[in-house]
Chain A
Amino acid sequence: MDLSRRRFLQTAVLTAAGAGLTAACGGGSGSSGSKDSKNLKFWYWAGGLSDKVVADAKTHFSDATLKTSVIGGDFKTKLLTGLKTAQTSPDITGVKGEDIASLLPNANRFLDLKTLGMDKLAPDYLSWKLKQATTQDGKLIGFPIDIGPCALFYREDIFAQAGLPTDPAKVSAQLSTWEAYFDAGVELHKKVPKSFLVNNIGSVFSMAIGQGTTRFIDENNKFIGDQDHIRTAWDTAVKPYTLGIDAKINDNTWNAAIGNGTLATELGAAWHALDISNATPGTKGKWRVASLPSGPSNLGGSFLALPATCANPDLAFKVVSWILNPENQARGFTDAALFPTTPAAYKLPALTGGDAFFGGQKTIEIFGPAAEKIPAAYEAPADAAVSVAYFNELTSIEAKGKDPEDAWKDAVSQAKQIAQRQGVK
């Protein structure tokens, strides 16, 4: 490969020019002083909103340009990076349910939706969900997209094989507690050896934690992750492992497993239905939904927020409130399994109709009552970081056969350390 010097110099100059040019293009449209730009950058993740609703929003607000970006990978990291400068910051952004708590201490980076008209709309939306996005001094930074009422998804054909009831009402009645659920699991695994009850014990732990009214840190910023309520959730989670009904799936093989019958049930929120149907369209009609053993729980449920650098707050708020009005939230449910946050939507036909993926079952009959009884728990900003320790230790049990007692001790001590580093007492 021969490089003539002249070509070298030419390339160098062109490069420098090109770099300068792309840099200029990379600058993006910085917003000027007045907040009335008609171009809005809109970020969300795949499955975070119904793509059809978003597409309709673009036509509905025809005099504005909505530039949407579906961001993959670690959304929170990308959002925090984007928030650093005005040029890279979006004007409307999704915020995942598990991240909202950690953003509240930096609420000044977002606009208070109450000043844009949310105070009038607030009564129409679930108050406990609004509370999740409200700071201690009353600033509301997130408009709720969906909630995650949890349920038990099960394969009715595998249940039939194992001699278990298949009708959702009967399943809900029989598998009404964790013990009953695990007993059924043992039965099932005996009769259908290649099927397991749960994909991993982390999912059981998530459910159990969500069923309580307190989590890892209390409202006085004190660490409570070593107390009974967590311990009980832990013990519940470890049970399937000791009973041998845990499939121990912690990676991408979940896609294959869910399709080939390795997993007979899945514990998850309403939005998890989308994950299942995307991963295994071939099992359409074989899944049903029953109520979660031992009571309702909430997992996830995201928000739309407006960063403080938003180019046009009024327009952005109009877009957001339109996308999240009852009709569109109902469409979100049918398109993307996003359970609405406004009770007005629960009576709409989109919600009350049957779901073909679940064999025509009217899933609102499970999710509706579950949504009403969700216990509200305080989630501290450091909660997500602290909970990581528990999940890591649970996978350790599955991966190394670690003794559950040792794992518990390690989880608590690590959680305490993380809490300390995050400034929790």
Chain B
Amino acid sequence: MNRVDRKRFRGLSVHVVLWLCVIISVFPFYWIVVMATNTSQDIYSYPPKLWFGGNLLTNIQHLFDKMDFFGSLLNTVIVAVCTTVLVLLFDSLAAFAFAKYEFPGKKLLFGMLLAMYILPTQLAIIPQYEIMVQLGWLGTLKALIVPACANAFGIFWMRQYTSSGVPDELLDAARIEGAGFFRQYWHVVLPCVRPALAFLGIYTFILSWNDYITPLVMLVDPSRLTLQVALAQLYAGHSTDYSMVMSGVLLAVIPLVLVFTFFARGFIADATKGALR
């Protein structure tokens, strides 16, 4: 094989390997659809059915009988959206202060953040639970939204981007025109950090959507669950109609995948931009 052939072979084998990985990444979704469209008996049978069946609607109907799907979907959306917006607001504000200003106690405050970054959330969950009881927020969505706003990653991410992505010249120009802190934030910082905000927004949204342990602990009433907890409850217990559960899995997974694929290009581009800073 001459050099050109060897190069082409290498190029081709790279693609083959990558396609293999893509298949591994995507295969579960295909298989979930197969299981969700067949019956439980089909799932138990050997050899297993490899193609889609026609049972999807029946499974979904059973699913809706057993679980308040749209209710928990709505709750999940509410929690995810509220958390995301609040995180974006609070984190970008605080990041601006840390990135472009000095003030007394800044080092200490930032150091606290650092320490908290590696603390697992589970460390705080029991007292959080008690606090929710005292506040009367137990079982409500507030109990999920508010604590999630204290995510250290967001501040680090925004601070990084703000400090290098917001040109000081623009800030100086704004200051000369008499703009105070918040005006500068609104007019200068926010437009500059848009890619970082976009990335953080999607990241927070996904994190909130997929969160399991917090709603597991805080929510009780079956009419007020989030999707993950409702799904897990569906699965537990002896008598499990597998195909019904799989239809639930399918419905739980699809929205995010669709939304993500739509925004994916931009998302990854923003991640790259942020990483390069």
Residues in A lying within 8 Å of B, measured CB to CB: 1-3, 5, 8, 11-12, 15-16, 18-19, 22-23, 26-28, 46, 69-74, 78, 81-82, 84-85, 87-88, 252, 254-256, 259-260, 275, 278-279, 282
Contact = CB atoms under 8 A, between A and B. Distances in A.
Contact of B142 (A23, A71, A275): A23
Given A8-B88, A278-B239, A279-B238, A69 B221 contact: yes
Interface stretch (B52-60, B106-114, B131-139, B173-181): B131-139
A1 B82 contact: no
Interface in B74-104: 78, 81-82, 85-86, 88-89
B19 interface: no
Nearest to B202: A1
B51 interface: no
Given A1-B263, A3-B197, A12-B89, A255 B238 contact: yes
Contacts of B86: 12, 15-16
Shortest 10 CB-CB contacts between residues of A and residues of B: A26-B140, A72-B233, A278-B239, A73-B233, A88-B139, A256-B44, A15-B85, A23-B142, A84-B133, A82-B220
Interface in B178-219: 186, 190-191, 194, 197-198, 201-202, 217-218
28 contacts: A1-B201, A1-B202, A3-B198, A15-B81, A19-B82, A19-B142, A19-B145, A22-B142, A23-B142, A26-B141, A28-B221, A46-B237, A69-B222, A71-B222, A71-B233, A72-B237, A73-B229, A81-B138, A84-B133, A85-B133, A87-B139, A88-B220, A252-B238, A255-B44, A255-B239, A255-B240, A260-B44, A278-B239
Interface of B: 40-41, 44, 78, 81-82, 85-86, 88-89, 129, 133, 136-142, 145, 186, 190-191, 194, 197-198, 201-202, 217-218, 220-224, 229, 232-240, 242, 263, 266-267, 270
Given A18-B82, A28-B139, 10 more contacts: A2-B198, A11-B85, A46-B237, A70-B222, A71-B220, A72-B233, A72-B236, A73-B236, A78-B220, A255-B242
Contacts of B82: 15, 18-19
B141 A259 contact: no
Contacts of A85: 133, 136, 138-139
Contacts of A18: 78, 82
Nearest to B238: A275
A143 B224 CA distance: 28
Contacts of A23: 137, 140-142
A1 B198 contact: yes
A2 B40 CA distance: 44
A26 B140 CA distance: 5
A256 to B, nearest CB: 4
A1 B267 contact: yes
Given A5-B186, A256-B44, A84 B222 contact: no
Which of A81, A252, A282 has the most C-beta atoms of chain B within 10 angstroms of its own C-beta?
A81
Which of A70, A82, A84, A254 has the most C-beta atoms of chain B within 10 angstroms of its own C-beta?
A84
Given A23-B141, A46-B237, A81 B220 contact: yes
Q: How would you classify the secondary structure of chain A's contact residues: helix, strand, loop or mixed?
A: helix
Nearest to A13: B85
A78 B218 CA distance: 9
Contacts of A46: 237
B198 A27 contact: no
Nearest to B74: A22
A211 B240 CA distance: 30
Which of B78, B136, B222, B239 has the most C-beta atoms of chain A within 10 angstroms of its own C-beta?
B239
A19 B82 CA distance: 7
B237 A69 contact: no
A18 B82 CA distance: 8
B16 to A, nearest CB: 33
A259 B133 CA distance: 45
Contacts of A87: 136, 139
A2 B136 CA distance: 37
Contacts of A72: 222, 233-234, 236-237
A2 B194 CA distance: 7
Contacts of B242: 255
A5 B234 CA distance: 41
B239 A279 contact: yes
A1 B240 CA distance: 41
Contacts of B88: 8
Which of A2, A88, A252 has the most C-beta atoms of chain B within 10 angstroms of its own C-beta?
A88
A124 to B, nearest CB: 32
Nearest to B142: A23
Nearest to A282: B41
Given A72-B222, A81-B220, A1 B239 contact: no
A260 B141 CA distance: 44
Which of B194, B201, B217, B242 has the most C-beta atoms of chain A within 10 angstroms of its own C-beta?
B194
Nearest to B139: A88
Contacts of A5: 186, 190-191
Which of A5, A15, A28, A72 has the most C-beta atoms of chain B within 10 angstroms of its own C-beta?
A72
Which of B142, B198, B218 has the most C-beta atoms of chain A within 10 angstroms of its own C-beta?
B142
A155 to B, nearest CB: 17
A289 B267 CA distance: 61
A26 to B, nearest CB: 3
B78 A22 contact: yes
A275 B44 contact: no
Contact of B141 (A22, A88, A279): A22
B96 to A, nearest CB: 14
B22 to A, nearest CB: 24
Contacts of A71: 220, 222, 233
A84 B218 CA distance: 11
Nearest to A81: B220
Contacts of A275: 238-239
